[in-house]
Amino acid sequence: MTGGDATQRILVAGIGNIFLGDDGFGPEVLRHVGATDAGVQLTDYGIRGMHLAYDLLGEWDALVLVDAIPCRDTPGAVHVFEADHQSRTAAVGLDAHAMDPATVFASLNALGGAPPHTVVVGCEVADVEDRMGLSDVVAAAVPVAVRAVESVVAELLSRTPVREG
């Protein structure tokens, strides 16, 4: 993922609590993502949702969230989808300790900002018990998610309009 235009700005945010088992998926994936273009910033936000909301006040062309998602059918399954900013609620206030994407986007809204185009790379969890380390099935999904993040960033770079200045 190197060689892109530095004026394009993409934030890749790993989110999750490493002390809650599979919830630490986002930070773990970010540890394995390789070199990126100059305009791509990789940041492990952990559980610092307010920090992410403040950072999103900057000018970003796109956001890639890497996160654990609730298990629907298959623990360890990786899904890539666009975030739905239309359903975010303004009723959620500023919460410095909340780290789910809806709360981050509501906090950003409360701060007067608007989220950029957002793609989520998520993995269905097996468990979120009080422990460090991913379950075997979610750990096995990390390389799949790394490839997904790299693919999403490459796609975003290929279609993100270049800002002047």
Q: DSSP letter string over 5-68?
A: -TT--EEEEEE--TTBGGGGHHHHHHHH-----TTEEEEEEET-HHHHHHHTTS--SEEEEEEE
Residue 40's pLDDT is: 94
Residue 102's pLDDT is: 83
Q: Kindly state the tokens that stand for 162.
A: 């270049």
Structural domain boundaries, residue 145: 10-159
Residue 164 counted as domain residue: no
Residue 14 counted as domain residue: yes
Q: What is the mean pLDDT of the chain?
A: 86
| CATH number, domain containing residue 147 | 3.40.50.1450
Separation CA 62–CA 39 (nearest Å): 11
Residue 153 counted as domain residue: yes
Residue 2 counted as domain residue: no
Residue 149 counted as domain residue: yes
What is the residue type of 2? T
The model's pTM is: 0.85
Largest CA distance in the chain: 48
Residue 87's pLDDT is: 58
Distances (CA, A) of 162 to 5, 120, 154: 8, 22, 14
Residue 47 counted as domain residue: yes
Residue 161's pLDDT is: 59
**pLDDT digit string (tens) for the chain, length 165 residues:** 444 444 689 999 999 999 999 999 999 999 999 877 889 999 999 988 889 999 999 999 999 999 999 988 999 999 999 987 765 444 444 444 456 788 888 889 899 999 999 999 999 999 999 999 999 999 999 999 999 999 999 999 988 555 544
Residue 86's pLDDT is: 65
Separation CA 57–CA 62 (nearest Å): 12
Residue 5's pLDDT is: 45
The domain tally of the chain equals 1
Residue 1 counted as domain residue: no
Cβ atoms within 10 Å, residue 84: 12
Cβ atoms within 10 Å, residue 58: 11
**Helix 142-159 × helix 25-32 angle, to 10°:** 70
Residue 4 counted as domain residue: no
Helix (H) or strand (E) holding 144: helix 142-159
